[in-house]
Structure 1
Amino acid sequence: MSHHSDDSCNDSPNEHFHDVLERSSHTPLNRRNLIRGGIGLAALSSIPFLSACGGGGDDAATPGPGTPAETALGFDAIDKNLLDSVTLPAGYTYTVLHATGDRLVSSIPAYSNLGTETDEWTMRVGDHHDGMDIFYIDALGRYTNTDTGRAVLVVNHESSADSHFFHPTGQTSGGVTGKKFSQFGGWDLGVRPELEVLKEINHHGVSVAEVGKNGSGQWVYKLDSLYNRRVTGQSPMRIAGPAAHLADIRAFMVTKFDTTGATSRGTINNCGHGKTPWGTYLACEENWAAYFNMPQGSAPVDAKTSTSRQRYGVARTPIAGGATSAGSQGWFATATAATDDRFGRWDISAPGAGAAQDFRNEPNTFGFNVEIDPLTSGTPAKRVAMGRFAHEAAVCSIPVVGQPLAFYMGCDSQNEYIYKFVSTAVWSASDVGGGLAAGDKYLDEGKLYVAKFNVNGSGEWLELNIANPLISGYATYVFANQADVLVNARHAADALGATKMDRPEWGAVNPKNGEVYFTMTNNASRNVANADAANPRAYADSDGRARTGNPHGHIIRFKELAGASNALSFNWDIFLFGAEEDSGADINLSGLNAKNDFASPDGLWFSQATGICWIQTDDGAYTDVTNCMLLAAIPGTVGDGGAIAVNNNLGGSTGTQNTFLGAALGETRLRRFLVGTPGCEITGITESADGRTLFVNVQHPGESTPAYGAGPFTFQSQWPGNQGYGPTGRPRSATIVITRTDGGLIGL
């Protein structure tokens, strides 16, 4: 979720809602006509074409101004702060469960926090803790929904932009140490030490660790548990997909490693996640594209492959500086890269006679939801039917026996899309505990859709299918077959005219009513001309972290027609707009105050026990005032607010957008619960079955620590060592365990 380039890979001509209003394709009343005709915004909700943003049943209801009568939050909001600690409300406490580098087995040394480890990190907790979930274990070692006192916690590990902390004096390149490589930057690398590279590859992926309470009632992870496991950037993976298209899919995956394309290696940049109703884990591959290299002067790929790569941001910028230059971590730049495929596979040029002789197709093996059975050692499966893009979360609809399942997914880049996968199989409760075999049943056969948000508060799901003339006849990228559509889902979504969004990241499903929420984290490329109803703000943030576009982000939500997972239409509104409390009424549209203002919503999750909507931030716009945070919200329903106008002013241009905003929450229903450490992102959250324990991840504390030269680091943060967990000195990502001192439900 951090380390995002400001570049957008979406150069498609797809319309924004600005274009929809001007064309007036859905109604004879467009924005200009409304304004010219003098129709006030207070009256907009009475216009028939706007009534579709209501939330009731098959028929859309006119939004009302009332606030639903719901339970108020039960803690006092904490203040914004820049402390090098994790702060919580009175009556709450936390402990650290595990942190970057902690060992999972006793046969390797405890973590030194000096960068001196000589193992390859294959049995250490990874770095950049992100999405996670808890899985209970029954007496026979199978998954169960019931709290048995035994469980595993599964944690994603995202970027390696802070890899300098894992080596004594920073990353080494050509004999020079202390360089801090950027996932989106570029350096003249020279040769990199193999052990450094192996550490960096292997602290990506997923950590599985058994957890439970010790004799003091404190949550701990169990060293040497038979369930402890790492899935890394090198672990074997199975390529899975629709039976009718599997041979064509695997043709895209052919490499020197597996000339049949049936398997691949590794998962990287795992950000948001999903949990299936049958008890498996979906590790979403997010910004995977930045790890590959096309060194200058290397053998070129064909034009179609180049077009595919450009849309995904793979080696899209020519690399200057000769064959030893890199755009990311330089994993290809080791002395043995030519003979050791562990390193050579990150060089994606095409020197061989065909794809089976090199790694030109290696990028095609990333960008998927990776299904892992946390309670077995089975080979994870890359679920191609769910599409290939920068996956950020894969949240499941409420399972209904006899009905298909829907998985909602964001593509985490500026101006990208929201997707939905609908299973062909209908849900059967007998599949609980079915592992990867159940995954084959539900995730390999189905339909993939992309969302189009209409100006009148309705929305459409557009199927990514080669039979659609818009896809089969798309000139920008010529699709060969349905496998090509799934592997190049971004191009297919472009062809269908899906709605470009302000960096769609995490999704969450409200367990009370099945409504779906998505965070739009921010978008620096948003401007007055391309602002639209679903992404309506374009403004300048003029304070100490001055940014433009939509720097504070927002949260959108939608309700499927009749609540059906396989519905082809939905109603939507905007749940919350992020803003600083003093931003002014044209920016602070949700009326946030000092106790609940926030910027850049990212992580998003609903408690099954309390119904609280938890919002986590990955902020660059407000970090001069406060570290990133966790907020609790009591949600309403789609359509509980009304139509509003957004007055934009950016770069000397002005404009007005009409949109739909949910009912104002106020401090009783939206409060700041946690503030993290300097440089961190608060991300990843789950809870115990009884709602009395909250697990939260603190990612990359001290991210802005300088790391140049061979001298000592000057740390932006020293957490969690400064709070008594593990060796002091370098900051470490970690999972914390939050409880109430009185043992009560979290948040209420």
Structure 2
Amino acid sequence: MSHHPIEDSNRSDKRVFWDILDASLSRRSVLKGGAAAAITSASGLSLLGLSACSSGSSNGPGEIPEPRLGFSAVAKSLEDRVVLPAGYSASVLYALGDPITEGLAEYPNDGSDDGNWDRRAGDHHDAMAFYPLPKGSQNSDRGVLVINHEALTDQYLHENGPTDLGEGVRPLAEVIKEQFAHGVGVIEVARSSSGWAVDRSSDLNRRWHVNSPMEISGPARGSSLMTTPLSPTGIDTFGTLNDCGHGVTPWGTYLAGEENWFAYFTLDGAGDDTPQLARYGISSGATGFNYRGWDTPAGAANLQRRFNASRTGASAANDFRNEPHHFGYAVEIDPYNPDATPKKRTAIGRCSHEGVWFAPAVAGEPLVAYTGDDSRNEYIFKFVSDTAWDPADATLGLEGGDKYLDTGTLYAARFNGDGTGDWLPLTPDNPLLEGMSAAEIVIYSRIAADRAGATKMDRPEWGGVNPRNGEVYFALTNSSSGSSGRGQGGAGSQPRDAANPRSYTGGPDGSLDTAAGNVNGHVIRWRENGVQDAVAFVWDVYAFGARANYPAAINLSGLDDSNDFSAPDGLWFDKRGILWLQTDDGAYTDTTNCMMLAATPGTVGDGGSFNVPGADGELVTTFIGDAPGANLRRFLVGVRGCEITGVEATPDYRTLFVNVQHPGERGDLTDYQSSWPYAADATLAGTIGSRRPRTATIAITRDDGGEIAI
């Protein structure tokens, strides 16, 4: 998500890249996808011995037919409605405040509070997954939809916006309401002749929120670094916070990724600062962008006070100095069992998680999953289980996580300048991590990756694995990556390098400026070297975001008006092999609202290497996939002020669920930027401009009942 300030705490001085491409590589001029002749190509990736598919994938190109997109691209839009291709329709399924149990009044959307927010839809719907009912079936008419509730639009949630009682003190009732509006929603949904609806009578409906009991699992479990007054043994914990991306396990559970959790904490004074907290963006004198004073109400219990991490007691048993260590994980939830206590799977590491995306599970082989750390100059990680996959475990529930996610090897990615990459083990036996225990490595994953020498990236967001060939894609939303180093002046926080090669001003002209950054972001991809748990890989960039009218030195993928985009964020492969790409942007919203695109994305190595110029004339060599052209096209444009995030399909691909998050975010109670979803409802046309907008999940269908997108 890019609608908030971006945390930037990587002050490590480790060198970013090794093995820079040898200058003696033969080069030839090319003109690919609109690239200018000034950008020259070196040898193609085929000279590195790359093949078209991964032998380690369980699904090769011969097993899944290549899909073909069957819709016309929609135009960019600044309207306050969801724009879809001709022949498609959408309806609102689940909006902020909707009851998820019977007997509750409909949400009045005026900020009033009935005290039942643990039984209502939370705010800022984000990643989601559909689980068919009955369990183990492929039913597309009934299932459980699990949805992250990432954050809040405060001014719309409360009657008059959030209240300050003086000196930063918040009302306890508002604090609890806000805490309940975060977390994860589990709802049963069904399709009938009149469309999709939430079954409010279902026993499966459940809200997991900031105060819900949970468990610590994996290497951090029982560590002294997890001791708090609420968890004296370091095993129990409470709540999940700022859940953004997600994962779907091979055994049928859900993983919620805790992203900007650090921004909810405060410290009283400089004596509370530690390098470990600072490395995660928590320092005294500068509250985070999501800090809401949850620790301040009179009469607040420990569940609220824990968001002050100051050292006020004699030890960690007497204050909440360790409470930040309880957040930043992948949280496993069983959608089929509302009574099962969720578990925080610490072996996957602690960071600003986007989500956890699994490679295809192969019988007898370890499970492999990928995650990204969404902050400037942070890292991409891979987890490889110690236990080999047994297909008989496909319905285990949380026992599957106990078996496969609590022990394994965590790696951080290094993207080399020659188009290769290495997975660096974050283990106690790595000499570069000498002195770090297994618990310390997973609690301080950023510090471990710093020491191991991983590559600093332009904000790793969502990832996905192509089911056709096992190749892995990650959205790098944007970043400041000018030529001036961190702390050396200028706005740049990272030098340009092979995997993050652009720096330019942005705006209508897109002029080059080394003090600006990678304004529009890009999508990187890689193929593991033979098997998914390999320790080496090859990579290129699938597509660079840019305005269609940008010069070729910036619009490196030759995007046009049918597929230009900025700030890729949500990224998801459906099982047919279609890539869905969603945006959360502030750099292109003068021209269009945020959007979702669909693609059939090709393979690593289908393009070549390019020299990308900077404002100072210096060239940086990178590797770019074949220009996507008509294989990438805009499917949806959202409403004013929104982010498009979260996407899921029913098994028959005849319904696509998508979230419209924080519509009207830049408005206020006197001037709504958006009135969606009311403005989209003809029966409420008279209220346009006078109703608060609401985050909501929509269900998209084809009018002829066919499969979405093809």
Distance in 2 (CA, whole Å) between partners of 1:385 and 1:439 is: 11
State the Cα distance separating 1:551 from its structure 2 match: 0.7
Within the alignment, does 1:578 sit opposite 2:545 as a pair? yes
After TM superposition, the structure 1 = structure 2 runs for residues 443-454 of structure 1, keeping only pairs within 5 Å, are 443-454=405-416
Aligned residue in 2 for 1:655: 618
Aligned residue in 2 for 1:714: 671
Aligned residue in 2 for 1:149: 141
> How many aligned positions are there?
676
Within the alignment, does 1:255 sit opposite 2:228 as a pair? yes
Which of 228, 236, 242 pairs up with 2:205? 228
Q: Is the 8 A contact 1:55 1:571 kept in 2?
A: no
Distance in 2 (CA, whole Å) between partners of 1:600 and 1:327 is: 21
Within the alignment, does 1:531 sit opposite 2:533 as a pair? no
Within the alignment, does 1:409 sit opposite 2:386 as a pair? no
> Counterpart of 1:647 in structure 2: which amino acid?
P
State the Cα distance separating 1:552 from its structure 2 match: 0.4
Distance in 2 (CA, whole Å) between partners of 1:327 and 1:696 is: 25
Which of 517, 525, 528 pairs up with 1:557? 525
Distance in 1 (CA, whole Å) between partners of 2:529 and 2:429 is: 25
Q: Indicate how the Cα distance of structure 1 residues 576 and 33 shifts in structure 2: closer, same or farther if over 3 A, else same.
A: closer
Within the alignment, does 1:493 sit opposite 2:455 as a pair? no
State the Cα distance separating 1:44 from its structure 2 match: 2.2
Aligned residue in 2 for 1:106: 102
Q: For residues 22-71 of structure 1, give each alpha carbon's deviation from its aligned partner in whole angstroms, at most 9, with x where no partner exists.
A: xxx467x2489989xxxx986621699x6256545589xxxxxxxxx965
Q: For residues 535-584 of structure 1, give each alpha carbon's deviation from its aligned partner in whole angstroms, at most 9, with x where no partner exists.
A: 1111111339999200100000001111x221111111100000001111
Q: Is the 8 A contact 1:52 1:457 kept in 2?
A: no
> Counterpart of 1:612 in structure 2: which amino acid?
I
Q: Secondary structure at the match of 2:355?
A: strand
> Counterpart of 1:206 in structure 2: which amino acid?
V
- Long gaps (5+) in structure 1: 60-68, 176-188, 473-478, 707-711
Which of 656, 679, 695 pairs up with 1:694? 656
* Length-normalised TM-score, structure 2: 0.91
Q: Indicate how the Cα distance of structure 1 residues 537 and 54 shifts in structure 2: closer, same or farther if over 3 A, else same.
A: farther
Which of 130, 136, 160 pairs up with 1:134? 130
Q: Is the 8 A contact 2:463 2:571 kept in 1?
A: yes
After TM superposition, the structure 1 = structure 2 runs for residues 457-606 of structure 1, keeping only pairs within 5 Å, are 457-472=419-434, 479-527=435-483, 530-543=495-508, 548-562=516-530, 564-606=531-573
Q: Indicate how the Cα distance of structure 1 residues 97 and 604 shifts in structure 2: closer, same or farther if over 3 A, else same.
A: same
Which of 156, 167, 176 pairs up with 2:158? 167
Q: Secondary structure at the match of 2:446?
A: helix
Distance in 2 (CA, whole Å) between partners of 1:371 and 1:568 is: 26
Distance in 2 (CA, whole Å) between partners of 1:697 and 1:354 is: 44
Q: Is the 8 A contact 2:67 2:578 kept in 1?
A: no
Q: Secondary structure at the match of 1:199?
A: helix
Aligned residue in 1 for 2:310: 349
Q: Secondary structure at the match of 2:178?
A: helix
Q: Secondary structure at the match of 2:179?
A: helix
Within the alignment, does 1:627 sit opposite 2:593 as a pair? yes
Aligned residue in 2 for 1:77: 73
> Counterpart of 1:540 in structure 2: which amino acid?
T
Q: Secondary structure at the match of 1:591?
A: coil
Q: Indicate how the Cα distance of structure 1 residues 170 and 746 shifts in structure 2: closer, same or farther if over 3 A, else same.
A: same
State the Cα distance separating 1:120 from its structure 2 match: 4.6
- Long gaps (5+) in structure 2: 29-37, 57-64, 486-494
State the Cα distance separating 1:659 from its structure 2 match: 1.0
After TM superposition, the structure 1 = structure 2 runs for residues 206-245 of structure 1, keeping only pairs within 5 Å, are 206-216=184-194, 218-242=195-219
Within the alignment, does 1:395 sit opposite 2:357 as a pair? yes
Q: Secondary structure at the match of 1:736?
A: strand
Report the more deviating stretch, 535-544 or 251-260. 535-544
Which of 314, 329, 333 pairs up with 2:296? 333
Q: For residues 365-402 of structure 1, give each alpha carbon's deviation from its aligned partner in whole angstroms, at most 9, with x where no partner exists.
A: 00000000011120000001110001011000001111
Distance in 2 (CA, whole Å) between partners of 1:233 and 1:383 is: 17
Distance in 2 (CA, whole Å) between partners of 1:504 and 1:102 is: 32
> Counterpart of 2:249 in structure 1: which amino acid?
T
Q: Is the 8 A contact 1:205 1:270 kept in 2?
A: yes
Aligned residue in 2 for 1:274: 247
Aligned residue in 2 for 1:199: 177
Distance in 2 (CA, whole Å) between partners of 1:513 and 1:33 is: 30
Distance in 2 (CA, whole Å) between partners of 1:75 and 1:294 is: 52
Distance in 2 (CA, whole Å) between partners of 1:230 and 1:106 is: 14
Within the alignment, does 1:678 sit opposite 2:640 as a pair? yes
Aligned residue in 2 for 1:182: none
Distance in 2 (CA, whole Å) between partners of 1:654 and 1:4 is: 33
Distance in 1 (CA, whole Å) between partners of 2:551 and 2:100 is: 50
Which of 38, 48, 51 pairs up with 1:51? 48
Q: Indicate how the Cα distance of structure 1 residues 425 and 336 shifts in structure 2: closer, same or farther if over 3 A, else same.
A: same
Q: Is the 8 A contact 1:54 1:640 kept in 2?
A: no
Distance in 1 (CA, whole Å) between partners of 2:460 and 2:2 is: 13
Which of 72, 88, 91 pairs up with 1:92? 88
> Counterpart of 1:521 in structure 2: which amino acid?
T
State the Cα distance separating 1:8 from its structure 2 match: 1.3
> Counterpart of 1:452 in structure 2: which amino acid?
R
Q: Indicate how the Cα distance of structure 1 residues 327 and 112 shifts in structure 2: closer, same or farther if over 3 A, else same.
A: closer
Within the alignment, does 1:704 sit opposite 2:669 as a pair? no
State the Cα distance separating 1:4 from its structure 2 match: 3.8
Q: For residues 487-534 of structure 1, give each alpha carbon's deviation from its aligned partner in whole angstroms, at most 9, with x where no partner exists.
A: 000000000110000000000110111110000000024447711111
State the Cα distance separating 1:713 from its structure 2 match: 2.5
Q: Indicate how the Cα distance of structure 1 residues 408 and 453 shifts in structure 2: closer, same or farther if over 3 A, else same.
A: same
Q: Indicate how the Cα distance of structure 1 residues 7 and 425 shifts in structure 2: closer, same or farther if over 3 A, else same.
A: closer
Within the alignment, does 1:440 sit opposite 2:377 as a pair? no
> What is the identity percentage for the equivalent residue pairs of Structure 1 and Structure 2?
47
Which of 271, 276, 280 pairs up with 1:308? 276
Aligned residue in 1 for 2:489: none
Distance in 2 (CA, whole Å) between partners of 1:488 and 1:565 is: 25
Aligned residue in 1 for 2:319: 358
Q: For residues 670-714 of structure 1, give each alpha carbon's deviation from its aligned partner in whole angstroms, at most 9, with x where no partner exists.
A: 1111000111000000100011110001100000013xxxxx431
Aligned residue in 1 for 2:119: 123
Q: Indicate how the Cα distance of structure 1 residues 561 and 258 shifts in structure 2: closer, same or farther if over 3 A, else same.
A: same
Distance in 2 (CA, whole Å) between partners of 1:118 and 1:71 is: 48
Q: Secondary structure at the match of 1:165?
A: helix
Q: Indicate how the Cα distance of structure 1 residues 541 and 122 shifts in structure 2: closer, same or farther if over 3 A, else same.
A: same
* Length-normalised TM-score, structure 1: 0.86
Distance in 2 (CA, whole Å) between partners of 1:47 and 1:660 is: 8
Q: For residues 105-140 of structure 1, give each alpha carbon's deviation from its aligned partner in whole angstroms, at most 9, with x where no partner exists.
A: 1233211100011315111111100000001122xx
Distance in 2 (CA, whole Å) between partners of 1:7 and 1:536 is: 21
Q: Is the 8 A contact 1:150 1:212 kept in 2?
A: yes
